[in-house]
Amino acid sequence: MIRFNLNTKPVEIDADPNMPLLWALRDVLGMTGTKFGCGMAQCGACTVHLDGQPIRSCVMPLSAIADKDISTIEGLSATGEHPVQQAWLEHNVPQCGYCQSGQIMSAVALLEEHPNPDDETIDSYMQGNICRCGTYPRIKAAIKTAAKNKQTAFDYTLAKEVGGQA
């Protein structure tokens, strides 16, 4: 039995400790907001936060997350009020939307680390997240908007805010 906190709520899973977190989230817990794209940490579609840091859940075995805090797209703000979600809305960013959970989770972590990122910082931080539809220009613009708006909205300590804000 592996225990961890998922979006601030304790969960326990009876599964192979080698199973990547992605499949535990999707197939065991039914949390399909986190997407499968490559299975080898190449595309970023499965990005979640582990103790506030972005990780690729498709290569993170359950054994490595015992007793840790995991945050997923479902924990960000169920009503879409997080400033990153708001900026995504303002720029009408998504096309198909499949990679966007991962893009948003990476962007939230980026802004936590770099509150006012320049183009180069955004490029370098976000290059692990592929979007085949080609929403990169809008993602970049939305990240800048979110950076601008962030002082007036939430603080970015994601794991603490979920639930209460949802």
Partner 1 sequence: MSARNDIKSVSRRDFLRYTSVAGGALVLGTLLPSITPAWASSTVDDAANTLNLFVSIDNDGTVNIVCHRSEMGQGVRTGIPQIVADELCADWSKVNVVQGLGDEAYGSQNTDGSRSIRRFYTTMREMGATARTMLENAAAQTWGVPVSDVFAENGAVVHKSSGKSLSFGELAQVASQQNVPEVKDLTFKSPKDFKFIGKPVTSVDLPKVLTGDTVFGQDVQLDDMLYASIERCPVVGGTVKAFDKEASRGVANVVDVIEMPEQSFPVLFKNLNGVAVLASNTWSALQGRKALNVTWDLGDNQSHDSDAYLAELEKRIVTKGKSIRSVGDAYKAFDTADTKLDATYTVPYLVHAPMEPPAATAVFKDGHCEVWACTQTPQSTQQNVAGALGIDKSKVKVNVTLLGGGFGRKSKPDFSVEAAVLAQKTGKPVKVVWSREDDIRHGYYHAISAQHFQAGLDEAGKVTSWVQRTAFPSISWTFTGTTDEPQTGELSLGFGDLPFAIENLSCETHKAPAHVRIGWIRSVSNIQHGFAIGSFVDELAAKSSVSPHQMWLNLIGDDRIVDPKTQGFKYENYGESYDNFPIETKRLKNVLNELMAKSGANSPTADNEGWGISVHRSFVSYVAVATKVQVANDKVSVLEMHSVIDAGRVINPDRVKSQQEGAMIFGLSIALMGEVTIKEGAVEQSNYHDYTVLRMHQSPKIVTHIIQSDAAPGGVGEPGVPPVAASVTNAIYQASGKRIRALPVNKVYSV
Rule CB under 8 A: which residues touch partner 1? 15-16, 19-20, 23, 26-28, 30-40, 42-43, 45, 72-74, 76-80, 85, 88-89, 92, 94-101, 104, 122-124, 126-140
Cβ 71 to partner 1, closest distance in Å?
A: 12
Distance from C-alpha of 4 to C-alpha of 11, rounded to nearest angstrom: 6
For CA atoms 62, 67, 72, 75, give the dihedral sign: positive
What is the crossing angle of helices 136-149 and 100-113, to 10°? 40
In the complex, least distance from residue 2 CB atom to partner 1, rounded to whole angstroms:
14
Query: Helix, strand, or coil here: 122?
Result: helix
Task: Count CA within 13 A, CB hemisphere, residue 80.
Answer: 7
For residues 19 and 25, the answer to whether their CB atoms sit within 8 Å is: no
Give me the least distance between CB of 58 and partner 1, in Å please. 10
Q: Which is nearer to partner 1, 50 or 87 (CB)?
A: 87
* Nearest approach, Cβ of residue 3 and partner 1 (Å): 19
The rounded distance, in Å, linking the Cα atoms of 145 and 60 is 31
